[in-house]
Amino acid sequence: MANVVVIGAQWGDEGKGKIVDWLAARADLVVRFQGGHNAGHTLVVGNQTYKLSLLPSGIVRGTLSAIGNGVVLDPWALADEIARLRAQGVEISPERLQVAETCPLILPFHRDLDALREDASGAGRIGTTRRGIGPAYEDKVGRRALRLCDLADLAAAAPQIDRLLAHHNALRAGFGVPAIDRAALLAELAAIAPVILPFAAPVWETLARHRRQRARILFEGAQGVLLDVDHGTYPFVTSSNTVAGTAASGSGTGPGALSYVLGIVKAYTTRVGSGPFPTELDDAVGARLGERGREFGTVTGRRRRCGWFDAALVRQSVQMAGIDGIALTKLDVLDGFRELLVCTGYEVDGERLPHLPASAARQAAARPIYERMEGWQESTAGARSWADLPANAIKYVRRVEELIDCPVALVSTSPERDDTILVRDPFRD
């Protein structure tokens, strides 16, 4: 049996939640390995809709779920999310959920700093979710972070807290805002500690035990490859590595545990926030894609920018992240288009390129080179086999495979978990 890593292969929002939920039915353990509560996964199960940010998607299935050390953890956001899902009837206990003891914490002043920077950046703003993700990762790398295990003994963590506050108070002074109230912060941490600490565990040990038992492990990524801090459209990226290799370091296991990488790809392209987007459609077609695809961010509620499928960018993601197969989602959103366009490369200052250039200025100048395909008028919504798809829809999927140089493993045709066409089983490939 293979262990599967699920990552987004575009700019996030590709429909990872549904695919992970679908795969979780056959997994023994689901692990989040990077990002924070800036992630947003929506699961539709019958008449019930679940919105997740920190919790792994397997939690709804009752599958053992873990949050790895590569995640930055807002303890108050986690407590709220647990309470919300419990109210929807989902059982969440330390027997079903583990959180790595070494997770760095997102604290209230991280959110403050995130917002202060965005507001001061003017036209140069990144478009963050203002949830403190970036500042928390900075403190982790700067060795100033408080970690989940520190909540068990705040007195012993006093030197680390003082070091952390000295750094942030200097930044706050530069923005002209008051220093952090140390006593109030300690009171908040003392109050949240008993809520979160029961879930703290050595996740690396749980992973090692499951590997010895030859259990099936599903590693759940957040955001997408094009938002990777090293490989994405920098500086308009997230603050973590989103590629598949991070699943090992972000959970506490070796790279040999990563058997199969499944990239999630929308049948068109979307993006939230600022940054280059060569195939963006600021017209009626873009509005139609957004309306039919219900393109609003799960976390922020922001309207997503929409455009044609960018095969050149996905091909780039496939090569950078070592993707073995893709899950093509939201195929049904393309129903009714007479003509579909697919980007196969770019023109930048008169030069034709097969991939997006590295510099932000050249990315902004990139113009798509399109291939035109005939659309279909029949409905693909709810299709569960190739026989249910129109001929032109099958041609579209096959052409996508050719252009991105990667096979399609799954096709999703609605938000419902069972409206999925299985082409290749990631747990057995």
Active-site annotation, residues: 13, 41
Could you tell me the CA-to-CA distances from 356 to 109, 223, 279, 350, 361 in Å, in that order?
Answer: 36, 19, 12, 14, 11
β pairing state of 4-8 and 351-353: unpaired
Overall residue count recorded for the chain in this entry: 429
State which amino acid sits at residue 244. Answer: A
Measured CA to CA, the distance from residue 150 to residue 152 in angstroms comes to 5
405 neighbors 315 (Cβ within 8 angstroms): yes
Measured CA to CA, the distance from residue 29 to residue 57 in angstroms comes to 11
Largest CA distance in the chain: 67
102 neighbors 133 (Cβ within 8 angstroms): no
Any residues with CB less than 8 A from the CB of 293 and at least 6 apart, and which?
266, 268, 270, 306, 330, 333
β pairing state of 260-266 and 217-220: unpaired
Measured CA to CA, the distance from residue 6 to residue 31 in angstroms comes to 10
Measured CA to CA, the distance from residue 59 to residue 208 in angstroms comes to 20
φ, ψ at 232 (rounded to 5°): -90, -165
Residue 282: count other Cβ atoms within 10 Å of its Cβ.
11
Beta-bridge mates of residue 5: 219, 261
State which amino acid sits at residue 206. Answer: T
State which amino acid sits at residue 334. Answer: L
Measured CA to CA, the distance from residue 217 to residue 26 in angstroms comes to 9
Beta-bridge mates of residue 200: 99
Check residue 390 and report its DSSP letter.
-
229 neighbors 133 (Cβ within 8 angstroms): no
CA 79 from chain centre, in angstroms, equals 20
